[in-house]
Amino acid sequence: MKYVLDSSVAFKWLVLEKDTAKALRLRDDYRNQVIELLAPDIFPVETVHSLTRAQRLSRVTSLQGVSLFQDFLRHLPRMHPCLPLLPRAYAISSQARIGVYDCVYVALAEREGCEFITADDKLVKNLQAQFPFIMPLASMP
């Protein structure tokens, strides 16, 4: 099984939040080659941005942040360049009035014919009717 993984799910690999156990199950299934995870090449930047924000908010210490960052880089999903996805992402973003960053993930899942797993409830609410392959992390086993 193949999935596009949102950075909102990967952040749960790093910082304890609601549905972290589900996110970690996906990560472990990927590490054990049970599933395939894909992401646009903006994925690491978005995830690490969230990690530094968590550090500024004292959710993790500086030392923890460095360790989490290094572990995160060892298990990245298979990256896809976002540039070829931008025309479709732009079209989705313009039509749905959703940020283009999120739409790059949707465009990748659409192109690859697979589900897109996200922990972004707003994204699910705004796009799932049009793109039924968008799956909320909360709905995963």
Query: For the domain that residue 102 is a member of, what is the CATH number?
Result: 3.40.50.1010
Rounded distance, CA 91 to CA 110, Å?
A: 13
The residue range of the domain holding 100 is 2-139
CB–CB of 94/25 below 8 Å? Answer: no
CB–CB of 108/40 below 8 Å? Answer: yes
Tell me the DSSP string of 52-116. Answer: HHHHHTTSS-HHHHHHHHHHHHHTPPEEE-SGGGHHHHHHHHHHHT--HHHHHHHHHHHHHTSEE
Rounded distance, CA 65 to CA 99, Å?
A: 27
The one-digit pLDDT tens for each residue of the chain (141 residues) are 999 999 999 999 999 999 999 999 999 999 999 999 999 999 999 999 999 999 999 999 999 999 999 999 988 999 999 999 999 999 999 999 999 999 999 999 999 999 999 999 999 999 999 999 999 999 998
Which H/E stretch holds residue 117? strand 115-118
- Report pTM: 0.94
Number of structural domains (the chain) is 1
